[in-house]
Amino acid sequence: MLALLFRGTLAGLTVGLLLTPVTVAGQRGASVSTNSTSPGLRTPDGKPDLQGVWNFGNITPLERPAEFAGKEFLSDADISAIEAAAAASRVDRAPEPGDPGTYNQFWLESGTKVAGNRRTSLILDPPDGKLPPYTPDGENRRAARAAMAKRPPAGPEDIALQDRCLLGFNSGPPMLSGAYNNYVQIAQFPEYVVFLTEMVHDARIVRLDGREHLPAHVRQWMGDARGRWEGETLVVETTNFRPEGTAHPLRTAGRLDAIDENLHLIERLTRVDEDTLNYEFTINDPTAFTKPWTASYPLTKSRDQIFEYACHEGNYSMPTILRGARAQEKADKTPSSTTP
């Protein structure tokens, strides 16, 4: 279920056709050159221009590692050591005996660079860079999801959203760096903004026209997003998530498995300069965490084009996974021939 990662001239033709900006007041809508001569990097209707393909891959951990306790920012020496270790880990090695192996490094795009803000963690609030405590319901949800992942799946619903190709493991929302496909294309219009992540096929249409959120009983995989401008910052509020919560990178090791349908997500995007977009998000889920928490990191402008990710629900692996689960259950019930 890998995307095609050969970034060439044909990449993104379909996306380009789908996301070609509309005309605003007789001009090429929401499309403006992002060179140093562009006054304020703005769209024709005067809003900050957030458009383009942005890379959100980085190796900064979500939570602050123990060795950096009490330290908010990395030194030059810290960054050199971390990035050298990351580069060394990106060398292909033979798998351990009994391990069939997985993708080689050619297919991985997690990067070898820490986030450009030099923070020791993506989390900036709480100030210790750690997730706040889980609620009792959140702890129970994490345990239930961990137990479900260890047993043979009874059906597709027992399989992770990213394995079912319903959501990309780094597309969120919120967006968090994963093993590959850490790209998002933003297209901007007067009444809405579109976020198309390269991972899977996830496009979020954020309305800016002031309408209310959907009724509470209407739940969506990526929630229901509404946006507004606060000065130079685009603020996106998303509610109406499903009970499964939202997708998250495997590298978070289940730490976000407490999130559920009560998630109220606030994202803030601010154009810093020609090549930088600051991304900040706040998770407020009162049945998952004891208090809200906030993370932030910069996105980098890319001259690459994004690719179609040919993943879809009911892909070839799903029947194989379920057949394997039934075979495992049958084997577990069959007495061993060596049993007295």
**pLDDT tens-place string over residues 150-163:** 889 999 888 888 88
CB atoms < 10 A from the CB of 138, how many?
20
Which of 35-44, 210-219, 237-246, 306-315 is least confident?
A: 35-44
| pLDDT of residue 12 exceeding 70 | no
| pLDDT of 185 | 96
Domain with 127, as residue range(s), is: 13-73+105-328
Q: Of 274, 208, 230, nearest to 40 (Cα)?
A: 274
Which of 38-42, 218-222, 253-257 is least confident?
A: 38-42
Looking at residue 287, what DSSP letter applies? T
Which tens digit of pLDDT belongs to each residue from 282-293?
A: 999 999 999 999
Query: What's the rounded mean pLDDT across residues 54-75?
Result: 96
The answer to whether residue 99 is domain-embedded is no
The answer to whether residue 254 is domain-embedded is yes
Which tens digit of pLDDT belongs to each residue from 194-203?
A: 999 998 877 8
| pLDDT of 31 | 32
Contacts 24+ apart (CB under 8 A), 102-109: 103/2, 106/5, 107/2, 107/5, 107/180, 108/179, 108/180, 109/5, 109/57, 109/179, 109/180, 109/181, 109/182
The answer to whether residue 88 is domain-embedded is no
Where does the pLDDT of residue 29 fall: very low under 50, low under 70, confident under 90, or very high at 90 and above? very low
Query: What's the rounded mean pLDDT across residues 113-128?
Result: 96
Q: Between these two residues, 125 and 2, which has the higher pLDDT value? A: 125
The answer to whether residue 44 is domain-embedded is yes
| pLDDT of residue 17 exceeding 90 | no
The answer to whether residue 83 is domain-embedded is no
The four Cα atoms 316, 317, 322, 323 give a dihedral, to 10 degrees, of 70
Query: What's the rounded mean pLDDT across residues 219-240?
Result: 96
The answer to whether residue 78 is domain-embedded is no
The answer to whether residue 82 is domain-embedded is no
Both tokens of 337, joined, read 């021939």
| pLDDT of 247 | 77
Q: Of 114, 56, 55, 110, nearest to 80 (Cα)?
A: 114
| pLDDT of 264 | 97
Where does the pLDDT of residue 121 fall: very low under 50, low under 70, confident under 90, or very high at 90 and above? very high
The answer to whether residue 100 is domain-embedded is no
Average pLDDT over all residues of the chain: 84
Query: What's the rounded mean pLDDT across residues 170-198?
Result: 92
* Count: domains in the chain: 1
